[in-house]
Amino acid sequence: MHIHPDALAVVRASAPDQPAILNRPHAAARAARFFVEKFPGKSLYAVKANPSADLLRVLWDSGVTHYDVASIAEVRLVRATLPEATLCFMHPVKAPAAIREAYEQHGVRVFSLDSFEELEKIKEACGFAEDLTLCVRLRVSSDYSELSLASKFGCDLTNAAELLQATRQAADSLGVCFHVGSQSMSPHAYVQALERVRAAIVDASVTVDIIDVGGGFPSIYPGMEPPPLEDYFGVIDRTYESLPISYSAELWCEPGRALCAEYNSMIVRVERRRGAELYINDGAYGALFDAAHVGWRFPVRVLREEVANDGVEIEMEPFSFYGPTCDDMDHMEGPFELPADMKVGDYIEIGMLGAYGAAMKTAFNGFGATEVFEVSDEPMASQYRGDRRDPRVSDNVVSLR
């Protein structure tokens, strides 16, 4: 694959008629190395965030050896792509046939659960094996996250002791896991959740071998500037070290968004302008699901040849987008800040779509075809370059030395 220097070079060379996905393997590799080197435990990539086989290989080559898979299709994909990877089947509700195939054909030994019914299902499907690592998922708060994951899965604290005790009897290794929600904007979310873990372990009086803090590690989007990831790692490490767990226990996490958000961006073309509304050739049924359905804002920039403007500042205007389908719900409110003179035929790069962007594209209404290019420039925002301004520090604060 030819590597272009940036999105504008892609437009120059191809003027794509279809939306174009831009891959940045170097950005994903950098994110992976950051977690491998700095998280005080083991990092499992949450495959659902972006199941691209190319991305899986980039992460593997950068040191990620464990993968959080949530379906038998993801189990098959990762096993076929990375034969030596450790697969952890972390969906708390699984079909018996999926458990059996994962265990017998793909070497999966790690499973999560949040009920007695699931525990019995796993035991039976695995033939009452004695080499299982079983992680009980607790329900925790999503108060500090942009997208809640507190409703669907997780055992309530009032029922946790009995389930932990029963799972301990069936497991070679016992884990406790949770998920604080997607795009957690405060490290305190993990402290709060780990305190709930502490209460569950004390109530159950069991030996715990794994603490899995799940995902939720944030990326940078317009209007959402989280603290540095090092802050998250620091409070997790300190709280974990004080838990009543096995002396040989392991700390795990399951980053999805944080490992792949910077991997993809997308080029779209303006097909119509109606006031402050731009009709573009991708949308809610494509890579912009989050922008339409949860109001997510993404960084944008128009792709035009640089023209000297004698120092005159370009006037910007907030736009909303309509996607290409016939559905009124194919609308992304934004606002997306672009030059006020946007016109039909302009190309726009939309950044930070590596997480739940390309992975959620559909073929609804006959749309969905994309071209794929690799580029070597930097993503529009990054947690990992080392040049990011600390959002906790005010520009008005004077440091006394």
Domain range enclosing 324: 3-21+262-307+314-375
Residues 157 and 216 in one domain: yes
pLDDT at position 353, please? Answer: 95
Of 194, 225, 260, which closes a domain?
260
Residues 119 and 137 in one domain: yes
Site of tokens 């912009």: 288
Residues 218 and 80 in one domain: yes
Residues 255 and 276 in one domain: no
Residue 399 lies in a domain: no
Residue 393 lies in a domain: no
- C-alpha to C-alpha distances, 153 to 90, 112, 136, 139, nearest whole angstrom: 11, 11, 11, 7
| Segments in the chain below pLDDT 50 | 308, 397-401
Residue 188 lies in a domain: yes
CATH at residue 301: 2.40.37.10
Residues 140 and 281 in one domain: no
Residues 94 and 210 in one domain: yes
Which residues does 313 contact at the CB level (< 8 Å), separation at least 6? none
Residues 91 and 195 in one domain: yes
Residue 386 lies in a domain: no
Pairwise CA distance, residues 195 & 209, whole Å:
17
Residues 16 and 110 in one domain: no
Pairwise CA distance, residues 101 & 293, whole Å:
35
CATH at residue 76: 3.20.20.10
Residues 201 and 337 in one domain: no
pLDDT at position 392, please? Answer: 62
Domains: count for the chain: 2
Residues 118 and 267 in one domain: no
DSSP of 88-116: EE--SS--HHHHHHHHHHH---EEEESSH
Residues 98 and 17 in one domain: no
pLDDT at position 188, please? Answer: 96
295-352 tens-digit pLDDT: 889 999 999 986 545 556 789 999 999 999 999 999 999 999 999 999 999 999 999 9
pLDDT at position 400, please? Answer: 37
pLDDT at position 366, please? Answer: 87
Residue 303 lies in a domain: yes
Of the residues 88, 155, 260, 326, which is catalytic?
326
Percent of the chain predicted with pLDDT > 90: 86
Residue 401 lies in a domain: no
Q: Catalytic residue at 177? A: no
Residues 145 and 245 in one domain: yes
pLDDT at position 19, please? Answer: 95
183-227 tens-digit pLDDT: 999 999 999 999 999 999 999 999 999 999 999 999 999 999 999
Residue 219 lies in a domain: yes
Which residues does 169 contact at the CB level (< 8 Å), separation at least 6? none
Residue 230 lies in a domain: yes
